Amino acid sequence: MEFRIEHDSMGEMQVPADRYWGAQTQRSKQNFVIGGEIMPREITHAFGILKKAAAIANNRIRPDRMDDKKLAGISQACDEVISGSLNDHFPLVVWQTGSGTQSNMNANEVIANRANEILGEKLCHPNDHVNMSQSSNDTFPTAMHISAVLAIEDNLFPAMDEVIATFKRLEAENEGVVKTGRTHLQDATPISFPQEISGWRNMIEKSKAQLTLALGGLKELALGGTAVGTGLNCPAGFAEEVAKVVSEITGKDFVTAANKFHALTSKDELVFAHGALKGLAANMMKIANDVRWLASGPRDGLGEIFIPENEPGSSIMPGKVNPTQCESVTMVAVQVMGNDVAVGMAASQGNFELNVFMPVLIYNFLQSARLLADSLRSFNSNCLVGIKANKEKMHHNLYNSLMLVTALNPYIGYENAAKTAKKAYKENISLKEACVGLGFLTEEKFDEVFNPEGMC
């Protein structure tokens, strides 16, 4: 491998000749050989957005220091970072300095060196130009918020909308289908299948509303606070201007945080938003469990719905097919719930003017958003869209349910209804036979008041 010599305030470093990063990135790469978890690409791309926005804002406010030529080189380099074409030049792991300083410098070095290559001369310095008016302490929190908003609005929300649309279609297709309701895993009074599905749908809708509420805080940017929130070395108007440009680049309504001291040290907006992600995970766990229970069988389970058969389920039992998409969803839910603990713990470690657990916090946050979006799409396309009601089994279970006796309460009273149900169960006879046999109703009156489909 060929190397070139780069230097920083601590001296010279050998850097791979075919990489745009510099001495500080190389030091981090050598000093933190920990795990294999690379800083999320969403953060890399967010740095491209904020560095471009900062250059544009500096050009508008400080054209003497950020002239049009430097801006052109930096902007093009940032566009390449945003597109992902320079991903290989961002090698640093999550397990580095807790402020994300080295990832900020990674971005500064890559953008400066690529900009100089574009311009054909060495005009851009990582600190003096790419990092102008900034500090790692306000850029990394800004990258966290930008990446979180994009992950939720551009990736997770569309996946949630797909599932909501599928549930709406299933509700319409199953209009009039009535089945046994269940509580405590025991038979309960009837419910229509569309009513059951509507509960699933509203879980996703509620989670989306909760995430939408959380987006307000995530759209506040720390940029402009610099090192400790005072804005040292940041010109007047920069914070507002850079938020405006980030909004223009992303199409989102970002604003500058009103209190930069809070923005640097507190991560409560991310905790709040991840709580909504955990809520979505809990809802997905419930829905997936419902689906696999209802599809259990095919002969000795509930068997009230059919789900797509995607792959063989056993290496020893021929013909076995398992609810694998449901299992995948529930594993994702467990991971997200675990991530929530890490996010909360990391956010609690804000000492004085800075939180120094930011890389692990955003790593877990973005993993949760990514896993949920991917899981929702997979669950929808490989399972939910293919759900079919087993109407015959639903009808059989409905009319075999002892809890239909509830409909008799107004006519024979709770205690007599309980006696009817117990007699029917003990003697393995119908509710009608039990009720008439006990002398509580005539056959004609029983038929008049007993209407399972009308009970929902």
Whether the Cβ atoms of residue 391 and residue 306 lie closer than 8 Å to each other = no
Choice among 45, 184, 378, 381 that is catalytic = 184
83, 85, 314, 348: which is the annotated catalytic residue? 314
133 is catalytic: no
Of 17, 82, 15, the C-alpha closest to 53 is 82
Tokens of 332: 């994702």
Q: Which of 7, 114, 97, 94 is nearest to 44 (CA)?
A: 94
Taking alpha carbons only, the member of 168, 143, 299, 294 closest to residue 218 is: 143
Q: Which residue has the tokens 């046994």?
A: 180
Measuring CA to CA, how many Å separate 99 from each of 93, 223, 298? 13, 14, 54
Is residue 75 among the annotated active site residues?
no
The residues, ordered by sequence, that sit 6+ positions from 222 with a Cβ below 8 Å of its Cβ are 138, 141, 142, 145, 257, 260, 263, 264
Separation of alpha carbons 112 and 126, rounded Å: 5
Q: What is the DSSP string of 319-333?
A: T----HHHHHHHHHH
Q: Cα–chain-centroid distance for residue 212? A: 12
Structure tokens at 57: 């804002």
| Interatomic CA distance for residues 451 and 438, integer angstroms | 20
**Token representation of residue 239:** 């914070």
Active site residue ranges: 184, 314
